Amino acid sequence: MNLKTIKYFLTLICILVFVPIEAATPRFVATASSTTVAAGEQIQITFELQGNGARFQAPTFAGFNVLMGPSQSSNMQIINGNMSQSISFTYVIQALKEGTYKIGAASIEVEGKRVQSNELTITVVKGSQPHSGGQGTQQKPQSNDAGGLGDKSVFIKASVDKANVYRGEAIIVTYKIYTKVSLVNYGLKKMPSLEGFYSQDINTNQQLQFVTENLEGVQYKSAIIKQMVLFPQRSGTLTLDAMEGEVVARVQVKRQQQSNNPFDFFFNDPFFNNSVQDVQVKIKSMPVKINVKELPKGSPDSFKGSVGRFTLNATFDRKEAKAHDALNLKIKISGKGNIKLLDPPHVEFPPDFETYDPKEVSNATATTDGMSGSKTFEYLVIPKNAGDYKVSVNDFSFFDIDKNKYETIKGSDFILKIAKGDETLSTAVTGVSKNEIEYLGKDIRFIKTNIPDFEISEGLFYRSNKFYLYLIIPAILFLVTLILRMRYLKMNSNVNLLKSRRANKVAMRRLSAAKKFLADKKSEAFLDEMFRALWGFISDRLQIPVSQLSKENVSSILNQKHVSEDSVQQFIQTLDTCEMARFARGMAESNEEIYRKGIAIISKLEEEIK
């Protein structure tokens, strides 16, 4: 293998190894338009990822009011054959009150891994104009007049799939935002009232997904804000009210030349003479007129306003039962149209049947094709007497938009065989399904006819000895509880005294941990824990700060506490033995002996220290 071949392979290895490592570390940066603001003012927060990601998760913005966001934008550049891509999420938040607040890190998923941004610290001052301390060059959003934007630079447009419909016919209305400038954020201020319509929202993405669209010969970036299915409830000319919103648009403005300096003249070139400004723009859609026609005449008697295309299925849970048993009649209407507004067909029940209002369950989905699904009506009926009975479900009619005519589904007849039941039973009804029926048996409790035995009281409770005793006991218990509570608070308010009282318990916990290390034959950990137990006990018990712990100081204070000289010397010797075992192994006593002496001296000092 010659030298040229070796260089070729080394170059290939560098490309395969080092380039992916560099690409595997994406930058996810959070910036703020200003880090110092006055209360009530707005801040623009941007989270920008150098690369492509998914499932963005924003922080909580505690202490701020989120006015708009998130507004998602992406950027792709190809320079000298190298492609770079970035994606950003922007919020506009409002400072509420003075203080220093921290905005946590946002996160996003990149190639299956979660990547977090940096945190931001925002200082909110009182009533003064904030200083430009932010990370970025954006200015505070100005009005649309300041930005010089035209009426067709950014706007909302409402469109319907059809403007001439029948009453009850589905209309798909779409609200889109169109822009020729870069948008930082957007928010909706007023939704249309939709008077005269029944509406159902269509699920859309919460984040705007911009696409390129040609509108009246002009190219825009457009995104769907909201989509709905509308059903007009009356004929005539109905109006879709305007939707109002507000966006922050980022535009380029020209800088004014500051002087006659030749360098200023050079930088007056259009390439250098542009700066970025954020402009606040109010947008509003135009009202849309809908011509609603009355349904054709000649509707059948069974027609109740259903418009669309439907099927009907009626069933009884059983056709043989006993008197006083609960039966369920289920009528299910499926199809496409104004399903949630459907009324059931009329049902003819025998006079001997006890009936209740039906339970309605709607399962419908709104899409850009209209509304489809089903609606179920469940009747609870209770026959009172035995016999053969007929239950009739009448015809169901609807207006078919596609065929432009009325259609009728024939009804059904059911023959029910009811056998004799228990006549002593009555039924209490709490719902509409038979599993909610409860048999109470006899529902009448007769009045007692015998004379009850009355007891004659020996005296009144009021002003008796028990009366005064029960009156005094709560007061005594309250005073005792109050005294104990005050004593407890007083004891716990003194931290040093509390440590002194709990010194023995803390030392025993440490000795217990040391015993476990001793059993596991972890000599170094055992000696460290023993050393902390001895010094910790004497520090807490004598209320000596750790910085002032020394053998001389401890000996002096123990003597002042009238601790015997033998106990003082035993404590110092135990410390010395523990230290020797830590730093001069093999020359000191065994660990078992050190543990035994430690327990003994701590117990002895606990008794002698007053």
Place of tokens 């911009």: 210
CA separation, residue 34 to residues 140, 442, 505 (Å): 9, 78, 53
Residue 491 has a pLDDT of 63
Cβ burial of 294 (10 Å; 0-12, 13-18, 19+) is exposed
DSSP 264-314: HHHTTSTTTSEEEEEEEEEEEPPPEEEEEEPPPS---TTEEEEEEEEEEEE
User: Quick check: do 144-291 and 301-441 share a fold?
Assistant: yes
How many C-beta neighbours within 10 Å does residue 402 have?
8
Q: Give me the residues paired with residue 238 across strands.
A: 290
Q: Give me the residues paired with residue 241 across strands.
A: none
**What 8-state DSSP symbol labels residue 126?**
S
Residue 266 has a pLDDT of 45
- Contacts made by residues 186-189, CB under 8 angstroms, sequence distance 24+: 186/68, 186/71, 186/245, 186/246, 186/247, 186/248, 187/67, 187/68, 187/69, 187/92, 187/245, 187/246, 187/247, 188/225, 188/243, 188/244, 188/245, 189/244, 189/245, 189/246, 189/282
Alpha carbons 514 and 529: distance in angstroms, whole number: 5
In the predicted model, residues of the chain with pLDDT beneath 70 are 1-25, 76-83, 127-151, 206, 252-276, 423-450, 452, 454, 456-459, 490-501, 547, 583-589, 610
130 contacts 269 by C-beta, under 8 angstroms: no
Residue 85 has a pLDDT of 76
Q: What is the CATH number of domain 496-608?
A: 1.20.120
The CATH architecture annotation of domain 301-441 reads Sandwich (2.60)
Indicate the SS3 state at residue 571: helix
**pTM beyond cutoff 0.85:** no
Alpha carbons 606 and 610: distance in angstroms, whole number: 8
Domain-by-domain residue ranges, the chain?
A: 27-140, 144-291, 301-441, 496-608
**Which tens digit of pLDDT belongs to each residue from 19-65?**
444 444 578 899 988 888 888 788 888 888 888 888 888 888 888 88
The CATH architecture annotation of domain 27-140 reads Sandwich (2.60)
Alpha carbons 138 and 90: distance in angstroms, whole number: 12
Indicate the SS3 state at residue 209: coil
Alpha carbons 527 and 536: distance in angstroms, whole number: 14
Q: What is the CATH number of domain 144-291?
A: 2.60.40
